[in-house]
Amino acid sequence: MAGEPQDDCLFCKIVAGHVPATVVRETDATVAFQDINPQAPVHILVIPRAHYENAAELAAGAPELAAAVLKETKEVAEEQKLDSYRVVFNTGAGAGQTVFHAHAHVLGGRGMQWPPG
Ligand code: 5GP
Ligand code: ZN
């Protein structure tokens, strides 16, 4: 069922505390933690506790939760004292998605190129 934890999902395991992560913020609905392979001086992932495969599924199935994730990206950026930063939702393997539990990347602390690769 939409939103239910998946046994084979890495980020559901992080939410459940079965896989360790360096958590920087938590709310009732979301968890924010350090990316294990940072691509910038600040690289934090914000995820909904509930399992949705990607940002599109999240937006369609739980729009208030999608908004909560986006709000948390702002809180993370403020806590990290980022003036400029990038929020990325890779959606689909062709766009670089490797973990199929919706997540926002918050990247900052260095200059950014556009367009992204
Ligand atoms: P995606 O490629 O799906 O957009 O992003 C998945 C992100 O999860 C990658 O940036 C990757 O480094 C990160 N990641 C993968 N495995 C782990 C893990 O076990 N712990 C943490 N904290 N991040 C992970
Ligand atoms: Zn999951």
CATH code of the domain in which 55 resides: 3.30.428.10
Interior CA angle at 55 toward 52 and 59, to 5°?
85
pTM: 0.98
pLDDT in tens, 7-28: 999 999 999 999 999 999 999 9
Q: Tell me, what's the pLDDT at 2?
A: 85
pLDDT in tens, 24-78: 999 999 999 999 999 999 999 999 999 999 999 999 999 999 999 999 999 999 9
Own/partner pairs, 49-53, CB within 8 angstroms, 24+ separation: 49/15, 50/3, 50/4, 51/3, 51/4, 51/5, 51/6, 51/9, 51/11, 51/12, 51/101, 52/2, 52/3, 52/101, 52/102, 53/100, 53/101, 53/102
Q: Tell me, what's the pLDDT at 42?
A: 98
Residue 82 domain flag = yes
Q: Which of 11, 37, 88 to mutate to test the pocket of ligand 1 (most atoms within 8 A of CB)?
A: 37
pLDDT bucket at 103, cuts 50 / 70 / 90: very high
Cβ–ligand 1 distance for 37 under 6 Å, the answer yes
Q: What is the mean pLDDT of residues 90-117?
A: 97
> Can you give the residue range of the structural domain that contains 51?
10-108
Residue 1 domain flag = no
For residue 83, give the amino acid letter: D
Residue 116 domain flag = no
Residue 55 domain flag = yes
Total domains in the fold of the chain: 1
